[in-house]
Every structure is written in C-alpha cells, then in structure tokens.
A and B are shown apart, each in its own frame.
Chain A
Amino acid sequence: MFSLRITNAVRRVQELVDIFLIGGRYPGFPQLVVADTGYHPSASSPATQATTEPEQSFLESLKDGLLWAVPKKRSSVERRLKKQFGSSYMDPYKLRTDLIVCLHCGHYHEAHSLCGHCYQKVKAETKLIHDTMDITARDAELQSQEVVVVYEGENPDPVTTHGKRIVEVPKKRPLWFNSVLLTKVLPKGGAANDQS
C-alpha cells in the first residue's frame, strides 16, 4: 500500500515535469523517450568528447538512442472503461446461446444441465424426506437399513418392503414422483379414461 502511494507520487511528479517541458499532455500523442546508451565509438576520452560533440538536435538524437514502447493509437472508450472496471460488470448482460426450453415446465435452462425449475422441486422434496427420516442421526442400526418412502394414504407392500425402514412423509405424493413398486398413483377412473 505504501509503495503504491510512492509510485503514484513519482508518476505525478513525472507528469508535471512533462507538462512543463513539452507544454501540455496529449493522451494519444506519441511521447518519445530517448535513452542514452553511453556508448560513443567516436569519443575515445572525455576530453575529446567534450570538444568533438556538438549540441545535437532532437531528431538527430533519435538515431543514437533507443525508442521505448509507447501507445501509438488512442484506446477506445470501451477499452479504457474495461481497464478501469474490468468486464465483470457486464457479464450478466452477455448474450447466451446455450439456453434451451424445458419440455415439461417451459422454463429456460442451460443446454448441458438439468432444468433448474424442475430440479428445485426435486431438491425440496429430497430435503423434506431427509428431514423426515432424521438423516443426520449417527445411529448405526438406523443407518444400516434400506429406506422406503411412503406418502399419506399409501399401503406399502409387505413383501417388497421386508426388512426395510419405512419413512412416512406427512403429505400426499407429488404427481411427478410416481413409484413403480408401490400402489398406482392414478385412480382407476383416470386409468380407464386413458385407455378409451
């Protein structure tokens, strides 16, 4: 943090010097910086160097030194804003082409994933069953039994559920969760209507 402040202060001073020397700041103007390499083949000694080297013009000095990388083009507003704030602000508003419609409920979901709306129902139902059967109980005897979920008004088959732990959920079975092993979800009238 402290070093950052010092760096900023130094940069500020450099900017001020630039303003005084060049006479203004231009963001897109190529600022030429000349670095003196200190190597002059013609100068053999400091005494001769002082006499032989005349005052160079700005353009001639370019041939001796090195040009440092400087911005050549003005960066656009979008690019400058991205440099300042990053792109994460705009991420929610990106165009998504990987969304499809669920055939059951009509909600949009990502093409690779399950439908979020349908999954939320399953998730809530699973959590309800978990809470009902007290799943966090660290009881070896309780945990070493296979579980059969039974809803209100259902009679589990004694043959298939033999030796299993029956968990009774105090509500009616949701229509989308039909069980093959237990009794039919549809009433007999509805089934007859389907066949006709």
Chain B
Amino acid sequence: MYNKLTLAGGLRARVRPMNLNVEPHNLPDQTGAGRLTVLRQLVTGLFRYERLEMNESKAFEMQGYAELLLQEAMRYGPKHKPTMELMDFWMLEKDLIHRVFKVYVPRFARFEAPYTKLWYVPSRPEGRQSYMSHKRILMELKGNPYPPVEPRHLDNKSSLANILLAEAKRDYVRQKIRAQAEVHQGTSVSDEEPTSTGI
C-alpha cells in the first residue's frame, strides 16, 4: 500500500502512490490547478504555524511536498537557483523563505528525516454532535516550541500495584543477599563471624 517515492532528493518520508479523495477544486479554466493552490496554501500554513489541522487525505498528499522542500533546502542551501525557484513557488508568503533557511535548516540539522509528524485528532470536535466522516490529522514540524501534543509519560510510581511490586522486589533482593551471606558464613564459620551481622 505504501510506496517510497524515489526522487532525486531521496525523500525519506512515506508517500502514498495515489492521492485519495481530495476534491479537485477546479478553477474556472477547468484545469484542476486549484488543487495545487490548496496544497500550496497548506504548505505555507504549515511553515508559518508549525502545527496544522486538516483531513487525512490532504495531509497524506501534502506531507511529501513539505518534506521535499525541507530536504532540498537542507541539501542545497539558499544559493542554489532551482531550489529557490521551488521555494518561490510553494511559499505564498515570501517572508517564510527566510524562515526556512534561517530557522528550519539549522533546527533540522539535529533531526533525522522525516521532519513532519502526524497525529490523528478526534473526528468529533468540541461542540459537534456527530462524528465526521473524514479522519482528522494534526501535522506538525518537529522541534517546535509549542506545548507537546504527545501524551506525556504516565507517572504511576505511586499506584498500589507498583508499590507492592517494588516492595516484593526489594524483599527478594534482601533474601538473596542473606542466602549468599549464609553460604559464605558456612564455608568460613570459624574465621569471620562478625562480618555477617552487618547485612
């Protein structure tokens, strides 16, 4: 089902072979170019807000373009003409081109690709009675400064079962040490009696 897109850039993100259920958004000239406009808007929004919510099919289609842009930027830098043309096409707001090279390229130097992360968010938003037919996805850039959506580590150290288990483990270790000490004592009873009292 999944297919790794083999491009010159060697894209290191899973890309679906076909687009799914994205409406064509036809422009008046009936070229279907409106779809590309939607994708450009999404990529621009992602690079500005670093966190964007959309439906599943758009997210899967858009992720590849965002990844490719970042990888090209990291590989060739701002003085490479084809890369800059690509940036100029995809960034509808031109101040973000500076952002890509001055913020994202240094940041992602310490990350491994893919640089985007997808989270499924509830398909029943607040204040909505029924579930939506499309699954919703939150796409974010890695290393962003916002509060993490990832479920934080559950601190269950003080739950009753864990307290009992920890105590049982400690008991087991104590018994083992005592048994070892007794064996040690049995071999050399006459010599070192006082040492076993410390345990």
Chain B residue contacts of A109, Cβ below 8 A: 122
**Contact present for A116 and B124 (CB under 8 Å):** yes
- Which 8 residue pairs spanning A and B have beta carbons closest together? A144-B102, A116-B122, A113-B120, A177-B147, A140-B95, A92-B130, A144-B98, A143-B99
* Number of residues of chain B lying within 8 A (CB) of chain A: 36
> A154: CB under 8 A from chain B?
no
> A50: CB under 8 A from chain B?
no
**Contact present for B126 and A120 (CB under 8 Å):** yes
Q: How far is the CB of A134 from chain B (nearest CB, A)?
A: 12
Apart from A113-B135, A126-B146, A145-B103: 6 A-B pairs, beta carbons within 8 A: A104-B154, A119-B122, A119-B138, A135-B48, A139-B95, A145-B102
**Contact present for B119 and A114 (CB under 8 Å):** yes
> B40: CB under 8 A from chain A?
no
Bound state CA distance, A143 and B146, in angstroms? 16
Select from chain A the residue with minimum beta-carbon distance to B122. A116
- Tally of contacts, chain A with chain B, CB under 8 A: 94
Known: A143-B95, A143-B98, A143-B99. A174 touches B147 (CB 8 A): yes
Chain B residue contacts of A122, Cβ below 8 A: 146-149
Which A residues fall within an 8 A CB radius of B? Answer: 91-92, 103-104, 109-110, 112-116, 118-120, 122, 125-126, 129-130, 135-136, 138-141, 143-149, 174, 176-177
**Contact present for A130 and B49 (CB under 8 Å):** yes
Select from chain B the residue with minimum beta-carbon distance to A174. B147
Bound state CA distance, A118 and B48, in angstroms? 24
**Contact present for B152 and A104 (CB under 8 Å):** yes
Q: How far is the CB of A184 from chain B (nearest CB, A)?
A: 15
B51, B103, B129, B131: the one within 8 Å of A126 (CB)? B51
Between-chain CB contacts (< 8 Å), 15 pairs: A91-B131, A110-B124, A112-B135, A114-B119, A114-B151, A116-B122, A116-B126, A118-B151, A129-B145, A139-B95, A143-B96, A146-B106, A148-B145, A176-B147, A176-B152
Bound state CA distance, A134 and B99, in angstroms? 15
**Contact present for B146 and A149 (CB under 8 Å):** yes
**Contact present for B49 and A135 (CB under 8 Å):** yes
**Contact present for B95 and A113 (CB under 8 Å):** no
